Amino acid sequence: ILNVEQSPQSLHVQEGDSTNFTCSFPSSNFYALHWYRWETAKSPEALFVMTLNGDEKKKGRISATLNTKEGYSYLYIKGSQPEDSATYLCASTMYNNNDMRFGAGTRLTVKP
């Protein structure tokens, strides 16, 4: 079983704060790392897919980095807004596997 761990489990920030979360994963046979955003009463939606060591992806105020050698990824949110409130999931795929293993998620609450 692939152990994907995320921290912190939950986070409360004020509107305008910048924040970041961590995802750690086994680095052996690594293939891809995914970040998803899951808003309450909706389905998880993909934010990023990263495959190469040193990859950085950005979408608006959200960005992510990947270190495959040490097995971690960071997700950053700049200037958090209340609409960023959601659970952020990371998931890892191993080489020659079709399945994906998810972490337990970081639940972000942004207070106005």
Partner 1 sequence: DVKVTQSSRYLVKRTGEKVFLECVQDMDHENMFWYRQDPGLGLRLIYFSYDVKMKEKGDIPEGYSVSREKKERFSLILESASTNQTSMYLCASSRRGPYEQYFGPGTRLTVT
- Could you list the residues that contact partner 1 (CB under 8 A)? 1, 6, 9, 31-32, 34, 42-46, 49, 51, 89, 91, 93, 98-105
Comparison of 1 and 112: residue with beta carbon closer to partner 1: 1
At its nearest, how many Å lie between partner 1 and the CB of residue 100? 6
Nearer to partner 1, 84 or 88 (CB): 88
Looking at beta carbons only, is 10 or 18 nearer to partner 1?
Answer: 10
Can you tell me the distance from the alpha carbon of 1 to that of 17, in angstroms, rounded to the nearest whole number?
36
How near is the Cβ of 72 to partner 1 at its closest, in Å?
A: 17
Residue 75 phi/psi, 5-degree rounding, is -115, 130
Distances (CA, A) of 66 to 23, 25, 35, 53: 9, 11, 11, 6
Q: Which C-beta is closer to partner 1: that of 15 or that of 45?
A: 45
> Which residue, 5, 33, 35, 30, is CA-closest to 94?
30
Rg (CA), the chain: 13
Minimum Å distance from CB 51 to partner 1?
6
C-alpha span between 32 and 61 (Å, rounded): 22
Nearest distance, CB of residue 73 and partner 1, angstroms:
14
